Amino acid sequence: MHVSSIMRKLMIAGAMAFSCIAFGQEIRFEKNDAPNPELQRAQVRQLAEQLSNQELEERDLYRAYMVSENYQKAHEVILQLEDTASKDEQLFLRFYKLYAQARMSGNFEASFRSAYENYLRASDDIHVIDLDLAMVIRDQTARYLENFEDSYQHTEEGKLSVEEAKALVNACFFSTVFSSAKTIVAEEIAKDHLRRYDIDDSIIIPAEDGEEISAVVVKRKGRREGELPTLLAFSIYAKEKPLWAMLSASKGYVGVVANTRGKRKSKSRIIPFEYENTDVYQVLDWISKQPWSDKQIGMYGGSYDAFTQWASMKHRVHPALKTIVPSVAIAPGIDYPMENNVLHNYSYSWNFYVTNNKYLDREVLADFDRWNNLKNTWYNSGVAFNKLDSLDGEVNTLWNAYMQHPGYDAFWKKMIPYKDEFSKIDLPVLTITGYYDDAQRGALYYYEEHHKYVKDPQHYLLIGPYDHWTAQGRPMEYLRNYKLDKAALIDIRYDVVYQWFDHILKGKEKPELLRDKVNFQVMGRNTWMHKPSLKDMTNDTLTYYLSNDEEEGFHELVTSANSAKLAMEVDLKDRSTMTNTEYYPWPLEREEINMKDGLVFRSAPLDKDVIINGSFLGNLELAVNKKDVDYSVILYQQTPEGNYFHLSYYIGRASYAGNREQRTLLTPDKLHRISFNNPKLVSKMIEKGSRIVIVVNVNKNNNAQINYGTGKDVNAESIKDADTPLKIRFTGNSSISLPVWIE
């Protein structure tokens, strides 16, 4: 071991030994209520000096040293931590190390600027992109400053516990370090990008109808001149910095980002969704005619950017487009802004976020008070869903357009390929999504329709325990309190996506993870499975029927149809309560569920291990006293220890169960069979001794429309239509079937 490393360890050990001796000392905090940030920080410095003498974890210790201005000791602890820190933590630790060194220099600004410039020059392209993403694009300085002010105001003067002192000192640490360094970091990263890349950000491409599309082209400096493949992201999320185009340039491509008409430097009107089916094709055509293009183009991106890839092929496939990699692809009218024809209100604020200006209105998106107050006011008042913008006090043009199209009609169909329009799509596709991706149904809609209209397409699926964000990037160790298997911790954006492009556009090997057409990570087993199709994911089915029998407060799930009659009653006028509040999977694991919300069913313990692979199927036989109902089914695993793991869920409108394009109302009080087969797909090992828990419910909460069952347009219904409570009766012919793999 190097001598300096030994000395660092000894010094840290000594510091920790002293802190053990000092543990239990009284931590005093003097407070001044005058609004003087410098005085407040001085008082917290004194608090940090006391805290640094307590028994602390290293992460709290270096922060206490930093706030108390003992930069030498802070530096030593950071050096110690670097040896074992994760990749993401190292990124920030190096920043803190440079910060401490600069503070020790006597001329912080000049020293830090010089050190950070040298640090960037010694870093590779990918690391600088990571730094930009973490330190600039996702800059949290304003939140840190607000958090410190709030923490200071809410900390009482006098004796503090170690935890109270740590909370205030940590808040001071983050606000001080980031506020004093953010400008230098942003300036030096911007300079470094210009050293690495040629960026043309003033390109205007004409659309078919003469409107404008703004685009940015990025090339890596120092690369041999010549024709290269191009990677295109077409996005409504216009940003000042073309970061992902830089990543493509670093990976050996020409990187291009184009934006929805009206965004960035386009003078057109901003209209999401409606023109991508022609505008993206125009951008592809423009790229193919440039002297730097080898006429091979790949498209990538997630969510809206994935939708644009499919939209580009609505009318025809451009000959230069060789492959697409849509991640978490939304499908307008399928899973956005509604899911199975149930319209959610989260799209309301998104409309302002993307249309208020040429870039993105982050302030309006972050106005949580406005959006929470709006949905609560709507719910409590009982006004019609199509009056949301009246309550909000600001016209929401897109929202009002959505209100006119509750079914999957021509308005939605014109945006993406429809039915046999998929038949002409013969290029390789890599679809990426997650078990907990809000847009999973959209991603799998494209996948299934492509397979329906093209025989054995070269279409691969990669899916794992990811949500809408992590399936586009690099999953973290935990997802919504669930610790992922190590096998799931793959780098999707930087590795898998570009390995695919290298395979298709440069003739390199296919990504090792894509061993077959369907590739999925089995939660709880630390492995991936690979199958030729979705149907090949399973080799057996567990079918359960609803019953009247009860055990320990649960209705029982049984293995055969029976004569049960199970009744629910929901007062749609009652605004003191909500139903179906736990259908959204957050957290994934919990100790208990709400046994009073819906009908809760539980199976007998499983007598062997099984793997749930795929989407569960539902066949509900029910009678309702109204003409329609919005209902949900949640699927849990109850572990042998008694905890609950949220596996999957379905939410839908009974009148559209047979056909999302055609509403067929129910006959009140008549038995109907409602079938569905598209809940969220999941793969998880279910251990012997586990039980299956199913919650069947009616949807009535502040996150989505309330279907009052009159048969009128649900968007126009209001609490005035809730004349009588909704009564729903399920029979013992109602079943839920789980697709499983049994070895």
Nearest 5 degrees, angle CA 338-CA 344-CA 345? Answer: 135
What distance in Å separates the CA atoms of residue 576 and residue 254, rounded to the nearest whole number? 57
What does the block give as tokens for 27?
């931590």
- Under the banding of pLDDT at 50, 70 and 90, the label for residue 446 is very high
| Per-residue pLDDT tens digits for 503-562 | 999 999 999 999 999 999 999 999 999 999 999 999 999 999 999 999 999 999 999 999
Number of H helices, E strands in the chain: 20, 30
According to the model, what pLDDT value does residue 225 have?
67
Q: How far apart are CA 19 and CA 21, in angstroms?
A: 5
- Rounded to an integer, what distance in angstroms lies between the CA atom of residue 743 and that of residue 729? 38
User: What separation in angstroms does the CA of 719 have from each of 382, 616, 639, 716?
Assistant: 5, 33, 40, 10
How crowded is residue 21: how many other Cβ atoms within 10 Å of its Cβ? 10
**β-strand partners of 692:** 637
Predicted pLDDT of residue 15 = 39
How far, CA to CA in Å, does 211 sit from each of 63, 233, 267, 352, 355?
Answer: 53, 19, 8, 22, 17
Domain 538-741 has CATH 1.20.1260.10: no
Confidence of residue 244 (pLDDT cuts 50, 70, 90): very high
pLDDT tens digits, one per residue of 93-139: 999 999 999 999 989 999 999 999 999 999 999 999 999 999 999 99
Locus of tokens 């600039």: 136
In the chain, the amino acid numbered 699 is N
What pTM was computed for the model? 0.93
Q: How many angstroms separate the CA atoms of 331 and 319, rounded?
A: 24
Beta strands in 97-227 (DSSP E): 158-160, 197-206, 212-220
Burial of 58 (0-12, 13-18, 19+ CB in 10 A): middle
pLDDT of residue 88: 83
Dist. CA 548–CA 444, nearest whole Å: 35
Give the model's confidence band at 87: pLDDT under 50 very low, under 70 low, under 90 confident, else very high: confident
- pLDDT confidence tier of residue 16, bands split at 50, 70 and 90: very low
The strand pair at 726-731 and 565-570 is best described as antiparallel
Residue 1 has pLDDT above 70, yes or no: no
Whether 23 shows a pLDDT value over 60: the answer reads no
Phi and psi, residue 655, nearest 5°: -70, -15
Look at residues 272, 281, 315 and name the one whose alpha carbon lies nearest to residue 299: 281
State both tokens at 573: 């006028």
88 CA to centre of own chain: 18
Question: Would you say residue 9 has pLDDT above 70?
Answer: no
The span from the CA of 717 to the CA of 708, in Å, is 7
Match 């644009």 to its residue by tokens.
308
N- to C-terminal Cα separation, the chain: 48
Among 519, 502, 343, which Cα is nearest to 447's? 519
Q: Any idea where the domains of the chain sit in the sequence? A: 3-193, 207-332+427-472, 342-405, 538-741
- The 10s digit of each residue's pLDDT in 417-435 is 999 999 999 999 999 999 9
Instruction: Give pLDDT tens digits for 246-284.
Output: 999 999 999 999 999 999 999 999 999 999 999 999 999
Strand partners, 394: none
Partnered with residue 619 across adjacent β-strands are: 675, 735
What's the average model confidence in pLDDT over 604-627? Answer: 98
Which DSSP category does 361 fall into?
Answer: -
The whole-number pLDDT of residue 19 equals 37
In angstroms, the CA 473 to CA 491 distance is: 7
- Answer yes or no: are the C-beta atoms of 247 and 255 closer than 8 Å: yes
Taking alpha carbons only, the member of 360, 154, 104 closest to residue 240 is 360
Position 13 scores a pLDDT of 39
Res. 436: pLDDT tops 70: yes
pLDDT score, position 223:
80
Structure tokens that stand for 677 in this block? 């087969």
How many residues in the chain? 743
Q: Which two tokens stand for residue 260?
A: 């929805």
Average pLDDT, whole number, for the chain? 95
User: Which position has the higher pLDDT, 511 or 7?
Assistant: 511
CATH 3.40.50.1820, applies to 207-332+427-472: yes
What percent of the chain has pLDDT above 90?
93
Lowest-confidence range among 19-33, 192-206, 249-263, 703-717?
A: 19-33
Helix (H) or strand (E) holding 601: strand 599-602
Residues 6+ apart with CB under 8 A from 669: 623, 624, 625
Mean pLDDT for 140-165 is: 94
Where would I find the H helices in 197-275? 243-250
Asked if domains 207-332+427-472 and 538-741 share a fold, the reply is: no
- Strand ranges for 70-180 from DSSP E: 158-160
